[in-house]
Structure 1
Amino acid sequence: MLNKYKKLLLICTLLFSQFSFASEKTLIRIGALAFGTVNWELTAMQQAEMIETEHYRLQVIKMANPQAGKIALQSGAVDMIVADWIWVSRMRSLDKDYTFYPYSNTTGALVVADNSPIKELKDLNNKRLAIAGGELDKNSLLLQALMQKQGQAEVFASIEKVYGAPPLLSQQIQHQRVDALLTYWHYAARMQAEGYQILMTGNEILQGLGIEVSVPSIGYVFDRSWANNNKVALQAFLANTKQIKHTLCTEDSAWQGIKPLIRAKTAQVNQLLRQQYCNGQVLSWGDKEQQAASKVYQYLKKLSSDRLTGKAENIQAGTFW
């Protein structure tokens, strides 16, 4: 009889250990745009069985737009979103303990028609420029900074700016209602596949400003205290995002698996999107990149008159994870 009790006790102990182990998995709730590039990676992770590992269980919550993601993070509805570090720094100045881990180096681009008379920035004089992202779009502000540096402040002032959603602005240039388009990288890649020319990329704008180091514009954003309490799970998730990005860039079968999300109408569009996506891999993230980010911050602070950055003189400590 004693042996039976010992066996029963052993079985219960093993079952309890299994349940305990399962309960130790950290639930990571991530808010992601349904058609954003982050969703490409998350779908690939699901196909590679990385949604649930020994350290975490991922729950993807679809967001209607970037602003909805920020609201969800602030309300506690999600643990993580993808946003830019400028927003993180501004929120830290308002006593929010958010922090940033880089996701992509890929930036937007200035697009013109193949037969456009616009061959360099000075040719934008008195032209109509469509700008995705609104008046405080970072690429637009940095373009203004570059033109000021080149002695073309009056040219930038002469430009008629048209703001709107990226898909609508793509139609505007296609119907020749605007002369140039400053838009997000994946829209620029689709335009390029249709014969439009990339006059300048966001990274080239930075280089023109003397910033030679790639500065990730967007990244995973989460609460620092939450990160410290779930460090093992978070590090495992971030490592898997790097792995899946590498897989998408090196294994054709993995890229084929997300083609329905990419919605590439032609093989050329598909190729350009993959090329630009892979060019955005963050291979280095340290002091040099963060010092370069500080220079970008100063340009954005000055040209937005604090409307984008807030009143803080510098990037807030703790902004970068």
Structure 2
Amino acid sequence: MNIKLLFLISIALFSNLSIAAENSTIRLGVLASGTLGWELAAMQNEGLLDNAGFNLETVAITNQQAGKVALQAGSVDMIISDWIWVSSMRAHNNDYTFYPYSASAGGLLVPADSNIKTIADLQGKKLGIAGGELDKNWSLLQALAQQQHIDLNQSVEKIYGAPPLLNQQLTSQRIDALLTYWHFAARLEAQGYRQLLSGEDIIRQLGIQETVPSLGYVFKQSWGDQHKAALQQFLTAAQTAKDKLCSSDQAWAKIAPMTDTNDAATQQQLRIRYCQGRVKQWGSAEQKAAEKIYQLLHQLGDNKLTGKATQLQPGTFWSAD
């Protein structure tokens, strides 16, 4: 059974789910290829929503941009997105806010026998970049290179594209290295490709030791405040499902077909990287670290990624208190 069919089945199951201890409903935008679908399936498999005090409705979205559009249009209450976008929206008087989902942040991959060992070795090479010129990992990699007096923007041949296409470009030797999202990186690692740097490595080499989530649940603060009990219950169930997938081989086996591969090594590497992305600590230290990352990003690319706001906007990170 392929991933799209599994996703549609999952959407149908959750759309028909009626748990009406109260009137709160959470309309959640879900990518067919995203790991959120794994957790929703695990929630159902483990009975984590059997006595929930809310209704959960899932809405299929085609990509992250479509999710943002749906959220702004009021078609969904919550999506998975990044805190940079949330801050930029708050700078324009929108009350979106962010709660951590994952710290997995992609990686820089090269063939196992590549002579690329350092950032300096990327100069003169063809570099594939998933997410386009405003990709956060690409910006942070440039910041790290600048500390070594290297201008990657000028010294590499940049190839932008969709992650699956770039994976093919690397395996067919049309590019020399690839900066991509973590799950596409994991698939390459399972084939023997070498991760030169993870997104987390880049951040640490920039002098930031705290683990900062790359993606999170994004919703309107006003909506979160109005549905606080239901939201907290959902977030607890989601974390429990994530932990179960990482601790229980049986729970993982049930959702393994959703990884869209029958290769055991690839499934295992996906599980490893997925579990490494669990957010185990989220407090003032991590939020201050996010502010440092924001400052680094704001200094790059003519502020195209962060916008004109010089600081991370107050309220970017949601607090249930």
TM-score, scaled relative to structure 1: 0.91
Partner SS for 1:305: helix
Match of 1:96 among 77, 94, 97: 94
Match of 2:203 among 203, 206, 215: 206
Task: Tell me whether 1:179 sits opposite 2:180 in the alignment.
Answer: no
* 1:10 paired residue number: none
C-alpha contact (below 8 Å) 2:49/2:237 kept by paired residues: no
Partner SS for 1:278: helix
Once the two structures are TM-superposed, the CA of residue 51 in structure 1 deviates from its matched residue by: 4.1
**Within 1, Cα distance between the matches of 2:300 and 2:80?**
24
Structure 2: runs of 5 or more not aligned: 1-18
After superposition, residues 43-62 of structure 1 pair within 5 angstroms as: 43-51=41-49, 53-62=51-60
After superposition, residues 22-101 of structure 1 pair within 5 angstroms as: 22=20, 24-51=22-49, 53-101=51-99
**Within 2, Cα distance between the matches of 1:163 and 1:53?**
46
Amino acid at match of 2:77: D
**Within 2, Cα distance between the matches of 1:312 and 1:156?**
23
C-alpha contact (below 8 Å) 2:21/2:54 kept by paired residues: no
**Within 1, Cα distance between the matches of 2:121 and 2:153?**
10
Partner SS for 2:44: helix
Change beyond 3 A, Cα 1:22–1:143: closer
Change beyond 3 A, Cα 1:58–1:52: farther
Change beyond 3 A, Cα 1:301–1:53: farther
Partner SS for 1:212: coil
**Within 2, Cα distance between the matches of 1:275 and 1:320?**
27
* 2:108 paired residue number: 110
**Within 1, Cα distance between the matches of 2:119 and 2:303?**
26
**Within 2, Cα distance between the matches of 1:302 and 1:141?**
10
C-alpha contact (below 8 Å) 1:52/1:58 kept by paired residues: no
Q: 1:232-283 CA deviation, whole Å, 9 max, x = no partner?
A: 0000001111111110000111111111111233211111111111111100
Once the two structures are TM-superposed, the CA of residue 52 in structure 1 deviates from its matched residue by: 5.2
C-alpha contact (below 8 Å) 2:21/2:52 kept by paired residues: no
Amino acid at match of 2:52: E
**Within 1, Cα distance between the matches of 2:284 and 2:37?**
29
- Tell me whether 253-262 or 50-59 shows the greater mean CA deviation: 50-59
**Within 2, Cα distance between the matches of 1:115 and 1:23?**
58
Larger Rg: 1
C-alpha contact (below 8 Å) 1:25/1:54 kept by paired residues: no
C-alpha contact (below 8 Å) 1:125/1:156 kept by paired residues: no
**Within 2, Cα distance between the matches of 1:44 and 1:67?**
26
C-alpha contact (below 8 Å) 1:108/1:139 kept by paired residues: yes
Aligned length: 300
Q: 1:187-215 CA deviation, whole Å, 9 max, x = no partner?
A: 00100110110011011101110011111
Once the two structures are TM-superposed, the CA of residue 23 in structure 1 deviates from its matched residue by: 6.2
Amino acid at match of 1:278: C
C-alpha contact (below 8 Å) 1:147/1:156 kept by paired residues: no
**Within 1, Cα distance between the matches of 2:62 and 2:213?**
23
RMSD value, Cα: 1.3
Amino acid at match of 1:137: D
**Within 2, Cα distance between the matches of 1:131 and 1:75?**
30
TM-score, scaled relative to structure 2: 0.91
**Within 2, Cα distance between the matches of 1:61 and 1:22?**
19
Match of 2:155 among 118, 137, 158: 158
Partner SS for 2:303: coil
Structure 1: runs of 5 or more not aligned: 1-20
C-alpha contact (below 8 Å) 2:86/2:218 kept by paired residues: yes
**Within 2, Cα distance between the matches of 1:227 and 1:53?**
21
Change beyond 3 A, Cα 1:45–1:152: same
Amino acid at match of 2:187: R
* 1:299 paired residue number: 296
> Which consecutive segments of 4 or more residues in structure 1 shift more than 6 A?
none
C-alpha contact (below 8 Å) 1:33/1:62 kept by paired residues: yes
